[in-house]
Chain A
Amino acid sequence: MTNKSILPEIEASAHCDGPCGVYDPASARIAGEAVQSMTKKMLALEYPKVFSSESMASYLNTMSRYAAIKDEEAQKCKHELLVLWTDFFKPQHLDAHPELHTTFWQAAKLCSACKVEVSATHAQELMDAIEAIHHMFWEIKGRDVPWIRAS
Chain B
Amino acid sequence: MQRFIAVVSGDSMWPTYTDGQRLECTSDLQQLVVGSVVVFIHPLRSHLRAIKRIKDIDEKSLFVEGDHPDPLASEDSHNFGRIPRSNVVGIVLDIESE
Q: Please say whether chains A and B are actual partners in one complex.
A: yes
Chain A residues within 8 Å of B, Cβ to Cβ? 2, 4, 7-18, 20, 86-87, 90-92
| Residue from B42, B49, B68 within 8 A of A90 (CB atoms) | B68
Q: How far is the CB of B46 from chain A (nearest CB, A)?
A: 12
Dominant secondary structure of chain A at its interface with chain B: mixed
Q: List 18 A-B residue pairs with CB atoms under 8 Å apart, sorted by A's residue number.
A: A2-B3, A4-B5, A4-B24, A4-B96, A7-B5, A10-B6, A11-B6, A11-B9, A13-B51, A14-B12, A14-B13, A14-B17, A14-B74, A15-B12, A90-B68, A90-B70, A91-B68, A92-B15
Are A12 and B50 touching (Cβ within 8 A)? Answer: yes
| Residue from B3, B50, B79 within 8 A of A14 (CB atoms) | B50
Bound-complex Cα distance A86 to B7 (A): 27
Besides the contacts A4-B96, A14-B10, what 19 more A-B pairs have beta carbons closer than 8 Å? A4-B97, A7-B3, A7-B4, A8-B4, A12-B7, A12-B23, A12-B50, A13-B9, A13-B42, A13-B48, A13-B49, A15-B9, A15-B75, A16-B12, A16-B73, A16-B74, A90-B11, A90-B73, A91-B14
Are B51 and A12 touching (Cβ within 8 A)? Answer: yes
Q: How far is the CB of A3 from chain B (nearest CB, A)?
A: 9
Which residues of A are found within 8 Å of B8, using beta-carbon distances? 12, 14
